[in-house]
């Protein structure tokens, strides 16, 4: 508690600055669980984009997006001309390119996709717009197809 007898020292920095510094100190050099990067609607990128956290893309991108271990959401204002690689890919905006989802791919009602989809689980919501092909082959089946002379399950080879 503050007592009138104690002298009050004036602050040399604005009050908001120590809070910002404390926020960075709490994060350290690692990335917080549940953190998500956001690319705003006024941002336009030509080139490849990679990240070590989830991504919300509301801007424009021409190139490639590769975030295989995290989720990618193309927001309603997002306009992408690129191949996209991600764990879970959700499209609410417009994508011209192939989509490669490690776990799942979702095209929302507001989403438009012009390209091929490769993912084990695919959701096309009613009203979504899609032109391309869908490959939902599980990775295990694809791996088995490359092993020569492998007998079918339950049949012994002699």
Q: Measured in whole angstroms, how far is the alpha carbon of residue 81 from the centre of its chain?
A: 15
Encode pLDDT of 76-89 as tens digits.
999 999 999 999 99
Q: Which two tokens stand for residue 45?
A: 């990128």
Query: pTM higher than 0.75, yes or no?
Result: no
How high is the pLDDT of residue 149?
Answer: 54
- Structural domain boundaries in the chain: 36-145
Backbone angles phi, psi at 77, to 5 degrees: -95, 0
Could you count the other beta carbons within 10 Å of the beta carbon of residue 153? 6
pLDDT bin (cut points 50, 70, 90) of residue 138 is confident
What is residue 107's predicted lDDT score, i.e. its pLDDT? 98
pLDDT-derived band at 3 (thresholds 50, 70, 90) equals low
52 vs 157, which has greater pLDDT? 52
* pLDDT tens digits for range 44-79: 999 999 999 999 999 999 999 999 999 999 999 999
SS3 of residue 102 by DSSP: strand
Q: Which residues contact 38 (CB under 8 A, 6 or more apart)?
A: 55, 56, 58
At residue 36, the pLDDT reads 86
């Amino acid at each position: 508690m503050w007592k009138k007898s104690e002298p009050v020292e004036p602050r040399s920095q604005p009050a908001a600055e120590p809070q910002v510094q404390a926020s960075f100190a709490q994060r350290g050099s690692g990335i917080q669980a549940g953190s998500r990067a956001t690319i705003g609607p006024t941002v336009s990128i030509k080139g490849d984009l990679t990240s070590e956290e989830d991504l919300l893309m509301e801007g424009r991108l021409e190139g490639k997006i590769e975030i295989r271990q995290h989720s990618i959401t193309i927001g309603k204002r997002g306009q992408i001309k690129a191949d996209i690689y991600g764990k879970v890919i959700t499209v609410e905006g417009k994508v011209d390119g192939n989509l490669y989802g490690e776990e799942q791919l979702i095209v929302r009602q507001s989403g438009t996709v012009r390209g091929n989809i490769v993912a084990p689980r695919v959701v096309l919501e009613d009203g979504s717009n899609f032109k391309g092909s869908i490959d939902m082959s599980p990775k295990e089946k694809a791996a088995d197809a490359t092993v020569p002379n492998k007998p079918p399950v339950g049949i012994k080879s002699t």
